[in-house]
């Protein structure tokens, strides 16, 4: 356990830029945009008190409408973190078993009494838990900061932030759901993670090419064969991979049934319900698709481990 | 007797070539063994097998463990430096020390810091900011701070300048080596290690062509230097090799009568380098 934690620490040290600096930059962007907004609409006196009018106008609205807006925008705020996190994890895993082979530092890592299984596990856990946890923590911190700043502005303009939005938005529920969706996504994405680690352990060079080429060839063949059989292009053009993406348990804030601004995945598939609830996330995790996905992931990961074991051959 | 490394019929095959060909090997404790051979002779393959970095055929026992199966647990008792500059370039010195401390049960932070105190390496340095020589010092400091009985060094000083190379071996001898410990070294710079070796192993085309202690080397091998007059007589004694230097002929003998040789010219013990060249060029010794 101690060794596993040490190895996870090593992953964090090697990827501090991706794991910590990146979410902080996103948070910085959010705060900067918010400040620009406040300065733009708040600094004029008397004639253009746009911000004051906006807040007064908002305060007149129905509390139910306000609550829904505050709650859903809290969920939607996670999307930028989620999308960037997905990229970070993608490239992290792609390099996870490749970089140290390339610079030969694998010879140093293999001189330490840590098994290959433990090494692979530390990398997978970094992608599944460590990176999402940091992104989520920064998301929550940025949201709290934004609420504090908003409260100060609202108070300075003579309204009560508690009745206006603080008491309405259920921030704890929203944060918890975002965290749950990150963890659900880590499991939902396991086949992809396994594939990336396999490629990372296998690729003699340019792992990105090895990771993307087979799925593209697979997709093109799938489309072509369907076309030859039916002389039509099916609606589900991207096949399994497209379905997988569309049904992701990540909050992607697309317009859902025309009334919510936050939704799980992209609400164009009817295979699952896209409302942001814990039940809908669990629904995906306890599906047949997920079960098949886990088997595929296990095969990929076993392959990655086998290759890691033999990485110093030749 | 308990051997630190024991191999019977150790063989390593790649697709088309046999890198290590049925080697038998016994290395007892308290030795400094030089494993010497030309490029592609199978040194690195043999070492990789010993360190559990590769699959192999035959029997191999390192400190009572099977390297292929138990690499991770074997690494609690074995240290190795495989080539210079394999430390990860992104890591900071303090991170490297902390990681090793957490992962290796026999690592002593105090010892490591004491070794590093005599170098220019500081805790905040990243490995990529260090010169090649400093990286070697850092790696050696880490390895020497781990209390294990077998240390394997594969070309540990390649590409370092002479000052670092000398210092590297001096530190190794003075601060590390004792009767319990065994060191296995492969290197091209034979001249620099020959004075610290206790045992010599030559490997050629995957086979051991010489495996004896340095004392035996001194007993067995003799180098004879004669002027033009003694050449024919010397050749009659069936030398292993003959070479010419400034008009004088130098012969290398295996198991020759030293008294007899002394009558012909100047006799001395050959250097490991000369012995190596003779062995590699002159068939099996």
Q: Where are the domains of chain A?
A: 2-309
Q: What is the interface pTM, i.e. ipTM, of the complex?
A: 0.88
Residues of A near B (Cβ–Cβ under 8 Å) read 2-3, 5-7, 9-10, 13-14, 100, 103-116, 118, 310, 312-314
Q: Are A78 and A135 in contact (CB under 8 A)?
A: no
Q: Coil, helix or strand for A69?
A: helix
Residue B45's SS3 state is helix
Cα A50 from chain centroid (whole Å): 35
State the pLDDT at residue A40. 78
Query: For residue A126, what is the DSSP state?
Result: I
Nearest CA in chain B to A104: B86
Question: A-chain residues within 8 Å CB-CB of B48?
Answer: 312-313
Tell me the C-alpha distance between B207 and B93, whole Å: 40
CB B18 within 8 A of CB B57: no
Tokens 């900067």 sit at which residue? A32
Residues of A in contact with B90 (CB under 8 A): 13-14
pLDDT tens, residue by residue, B84-97: 668 999 999 999 99
Distance, in Å, from the CA atom of B64 to the CA atom of B73, rounded to the nearest integer, reads 11
Cβ <8 Å between B103 and A3: yes
| Segment among A6-10, B2-6, B238-242 with least mean pLDDT | B238-242
Q: Identify the pLDDT of residue B15.
A: 84
Distance between A108 CA and the closest CA of chain B, angstroms: 6
Q: Does B72 touch chain A (CB under 8 A)?
A: yes
* Closest CA of chain B from A134, distance in Å: 20
List, in sequence order, the alpha helices (H) in A61-188: 63-76, 78-96, 99-102, 106-109, 116-125, 131-156, 161, 171-188
Closest to B121 (Cα-Cα) out of B106, B136, B107, B99: B136
Of B55, B86, B98, the CB nearest to A108: B86
Q: Please give the residue of chain B at the shortest CA–CA distance from A112.
A: B75
Model pLDDT for residues A171-222, shown as the tens digit of each residue = 999 999 999 999 999 999 999 999 999 999 999 999 999 999 988 888 788 7
Q: What is the pLDDT of residue B284?
A: 45
CA distance B272 to B36: 10
Residue A311 near residue A105 (C-beta atoms within 8 A): no
Cross-chain residue pair A2–B102, CB shorter than 8 Å = yes
User: What local confidence, expressed as pLDDT, does residue A225 receive?
Assistant: 82
Q: State the CB neighbour count (10 A cutoff) for residue B226.
A: 20
Tell me the two tokens of residue A69: 């807006």
Q: Which of B32, B7, B20, B276 is nearest to B152 (CA)?
A: B32
Q: Which of A292-301, B5-14, B148-157 is the most confident on average? A: A292-301
Which residues, listed in sequence order, are joined to residue B27 by a DSSP beta bridge? B5
Q: In this complex, is the C-beta atom of B80 within 8 Å of any C-beta atom belonging to chain A?
A: yes
* pLDDT tens sequence across B259-274: 888 888 888 888 888 8
- Return the pLDDT at A10: 96
Cβ A249 vs Cβ A184: under 8 Å: yes
**How far is Cα B252 from Cα A166, in angstroms, rounded to an integer?**
94
Question: Across the interface, do A112 and B100 touch by the CB < 8 Å criterion?
Answer: yes
Number of H helices, E strands in chain B: 11, 13
Separation CA A22–CA A178 (nearest Å):
18
CB-based contact B121:B93 (threshold 8 Å)? yes
- Find the CB nearest B88 among A105, A113, A310: A105
pLDDT tens column, B204-220: 888 998 888 888 888 88
- List pLDDT tens digits, range B28-80: 999 999 999 888 888 889 999 999 999 999 999 999 999 988 899 999 999 99
Of B153, B164, B159, residue with least CA distance to B118: B164
In sequence order, the β-bridge partners of residue B207 are B204
- Closest-CA distance of chain B to residue A82, Å: 27
For testing the chain A interface, which of B42, B88, B89, B95 should be mutated: the one with the most A CBs within 10 Å?
A: B88
- Which of B51, B87, B95 is closest, CB to CB, to A108? B87
Distance from CA of A212 to the nearest CA of B (A): 27
Measured CA to CA, the distance from residue A84 to residue A28 in angstroms comes to 14
Best of A6, A15, A111, A314 to disrupt the B interface (most B CBs within 10 Å) is: A111
Q: What integer pLDDT is reported at residue A258 of this predicted model?
A: 67
DSSP B271: P
B99 touches chain A (CB under 8 A): yes
Whether residues B82 and A111 touch (CB distance < 8 A) is answered with yes
Nearest to B88 among A2, A100, A312 (CB): A100
Distance CA B235, CA B232 (A): 5
- H or E element at residue B159: none
Q: Report the relative pairing of strands B266-268 and B18-28 from DSSP bridges.
A: unpaired
Adjacent-strand bridge partners of B35: B186, B201
CB contact under 8 A, B102 and A6: yes
Residue % of chain B over a pLDDT of 90: 42
Contact B82 A107 (CB under 8 A): yes
Report the alpha-carbon distance of residue A284 to residue B284 in Å, rounded: 69
Residue A221, judged by CB atoms within 10 A of its CB (0-12, 13-18, 19+), counts as exposed
For residue B107, pLDDT beyond 80: yes
Q: Which residues of chain A have pLDDT under 50?
A: 48
Which of A7, A8, A113 to mutate to test binding with chain B, by most B CBs within 10 Å of its CB? A113
What is d(CA A168, CA A37) in angstroms, rounded to the nearest whole number? 23
Residues 6+ apart with CB under 8 A from A40: none
B83 and A105: CB-CB below 8 Å? no
Considering only CB atoms, which chain B residues are within 8 Å of A103? 88-89
The alpha carbon of B187 is separated from its chain's Cα centroid by a whole number of angstroms, namely: 6
The answer to whether A105 contacts B53, with C-beta atoms less than 8 Å apart, is: no
For the cut 80, the answer to whether the pLDDT of residue B193 exceeds it is yes
Collapsing DSSP to helix, strand or coil, B97 comes out as helix
Q: Which of A212, A15, A205 is nearest to A123 (CA)?
A: A15
Q: Which residue of B has its CA nearest to A314?
A: B14
Q: Chain A within 8 Å of B196 (Cβ-Cβ)?
A: no
Residue B123 is classified by DSSP as: T
Helices B132-144, B109-117: inter-axial angle, 10-degree rounding: 150
Cα B27–Cα B28–Cα B31 angle in degrees, nearest 5: 90
CB contact under 8 A, B99 and A104: no
Asked if residues B171 and B19 have their Cβ atoms less than 8 Å apart, the reply is no
Which residues have a Cβ under 8 Å from the Cβ of A201 and sit 6 or more positions away?
A97, A98, A303, A304, A307, A308, A311
Distance, in Å, from the CA atom of A85 to the CA atom of A76, rounded to the nearest integer, reads 15
What is the average per-residue pLDDT within B11-21?
A: 89
Question: In this structure, is the dihedral angle defined by the CA atoms of residues A140, A142, A148 and A153, taken in order, positive or negative?
Answer: negative
């Amino acid at each position: 356990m101690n060794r596993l934690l040490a190895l996870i620490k090593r992953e964090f040290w090697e990827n501090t830029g991706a794991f910590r600096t990146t979410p902080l930059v996103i948070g910085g962007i959010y705060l900067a945009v918010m400040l620009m907004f406040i300065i733009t609409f708040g600094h004029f006196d008397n004639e253009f008190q746009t911000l004051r009018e906006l807040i007064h106008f908002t305060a007149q609205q129905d509390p139910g409408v306000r609550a829904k807006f505050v709650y859903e925008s809290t969920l939607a705020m996670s999307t930028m973190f989620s999308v960037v996190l997905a990229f970070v994890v993608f490239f992290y895993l792609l390099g996870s078993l490749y970089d140290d082979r390339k610079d030969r530092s694998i010879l140093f890592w293999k001189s330490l009494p840590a098994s290959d299984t433990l090494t692979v596990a530390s990398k997978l856990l970094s992608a599944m838990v460590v990176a999402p946890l940091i992104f989520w923590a920064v998301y929550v911190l940025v949201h709290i900061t934004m609420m504090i700043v908003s409260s100060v502005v609202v108070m300075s303009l003579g309204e009560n932030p508690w009745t206006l939005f603080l008491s309405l938005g259920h921030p704890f529920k929203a944060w918890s759901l975002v965290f749950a969706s990150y963890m659900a996504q880590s499991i939902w994405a396991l086949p992809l993670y396994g594939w990336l680690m396999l490629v990372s352990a296998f690729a003699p060079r340019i792992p990105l090419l090895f990771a993307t080429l087979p799925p593209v060839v697979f997709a093109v063949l799938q489309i072509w064969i369907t076309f030859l059989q039916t002389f039509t292009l099916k609606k589900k053009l991207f096949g399994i991979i497209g379905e997988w993406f569309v049904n992701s348990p990540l909050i992607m804030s697309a317009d859902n049934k025309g009334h919510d601004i936050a939704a799980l995945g992209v609400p164009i598939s009817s295979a699952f319900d896209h409302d942001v609830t814990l039940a809908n996330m669990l629904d995906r995790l306890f599906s047949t698709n997920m079960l098949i996905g886990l088997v595929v992931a296990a095969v990929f990961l076993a392959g990655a481990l086998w290759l890691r074991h033999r990485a110093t051959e030749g | 007797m308990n051997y630190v490394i024991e191999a019977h019929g150790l063989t390593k095959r790649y697709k088309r070539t046999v890198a290590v060909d049925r080697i038998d090997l016994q290395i007892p404790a308290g030795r400094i063994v030089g494993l010497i051979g030309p490029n592609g002779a199978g040194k690195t393959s043999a070492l990789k097998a010993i360190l559990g970095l590769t699959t192999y055929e035959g029997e191999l026992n390192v400190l009572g463990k099977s390297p292929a199966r138990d690499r991770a647990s074997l690494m609690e008792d074995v240290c190795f430096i495989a080539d210079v500059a394999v430390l990860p370039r992104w890591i900071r010195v303090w991170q490297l020390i902390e990681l090793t401390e957490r992962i290796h049960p026999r690592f002593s932070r105090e010892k490591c810091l004491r070794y590093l105190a005599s170098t220019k390496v500081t805790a905040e340095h990243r490995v990529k900011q260090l010169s090649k020589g400093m990286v070697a010092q850092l790696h050696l400091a880490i390895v020497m701070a781990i209390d294990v009985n077998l240390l394997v060094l594969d070309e540990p000083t390649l590409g370092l300048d002479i000052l670092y190379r000398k210092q590297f071996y001096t530190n190794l001898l003075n601060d590390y080596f004792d009767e319990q410990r065994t060191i296995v070294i492969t290197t091209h710079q034979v001249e620099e290690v020959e004075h610290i070796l206790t045992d010599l192993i030559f490997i050629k085309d995957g086979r051991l062509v010489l495996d004896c202690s340095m004392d035996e080397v001194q007993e067995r091998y003799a180098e004879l230097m004669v002027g033009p007059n003694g050449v024919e007589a010397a050749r009659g004694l069936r030398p292993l090799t003959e070479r010419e230097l400034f008009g004088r002929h130098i012969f290398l003998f295996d198991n020759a009568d030293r008294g007899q040789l002394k009558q012909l010219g100047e006799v001395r013990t050959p250097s490991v380098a000369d012995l190596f060249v003779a062995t590699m060029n002159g068939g099996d010794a």
